[in-house]
């Protein structure tokens, strides 16, 4: 599903937003990409985090398996599609007792021939999508 032009290793800046939308945590990140998905790594406060995203199905109706050490330790199944070089998948998760479910969006973007971008968003009830992660990788020199 991911084109061969973007298979292989990518490295770059990772931004993680937790509470302050103007002040993300920054670290170095990496992405390893194949046709079926990606493995990625970054860190926060010196602790390495890593995850995997696997794509299943067809571009117009896909299933994404998402698991990482920071956001989804138990894993999450999401659904979405590929449009114009961007995978966009959606899921929900419980935010606590007597709370509405929150949403989670993941985008894999290979539109730039010299970059691979991983984006994640929290979808907050009554607010909408807010950035959670952006990892923009370029080919290591």
The total domain count for the chain is: 1
CATH assignment of the domain containing 41: 2.40.128.20
> What's the confidence (pLDDT) of residue 19?
80
pLDDT tens, position by position, 12-38: 999 999 888 789 999 999 999 999 999
CB neighbours (10 Å) of residue 34? 15
Contact 11, 115 (CB under 8 A): no
Closest C-alpha among 95, 94, 62 to residue 78: 62
Q: Which residues of the chain have pLDDT under 70?
A: none
> Residue 129 sits in which domain range?
4-138
* pTM of the entire predicted model: 0.95
> What's the confidence (pLDDT) of residue 55?
98
Length of the chain: 141
């Amino acid at each position: 599903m991911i084109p061969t032009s973007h298979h292989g290793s990518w490295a770059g800046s990772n931004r993680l937003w937790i509470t302050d939308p103007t002040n993300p945590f920054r670290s170095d990140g990496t992405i390893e990409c194949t046709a079926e998905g990606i493995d990625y790594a970054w860190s926060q406060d010196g602790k390495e985090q890593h995850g995997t995203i696997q794509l299943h199905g067809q571009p117009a109706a896909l299933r994404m398996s998402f698991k990482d050490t920071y956001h989804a330790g138990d894993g999450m199944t999401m659904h979405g599609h590929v449009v114009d070089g961007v995978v966009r998948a959606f899921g929900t998760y419980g935010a606590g007792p007597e709370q509405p479910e929150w949403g989670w969006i993941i985008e894999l973007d290979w539109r730039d021939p010299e970059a691979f971008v991983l984006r994640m968003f929290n979808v907050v009830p009554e607010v909408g999508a807010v950035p959670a992660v952006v990892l923009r990788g370029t080919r290591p020199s």
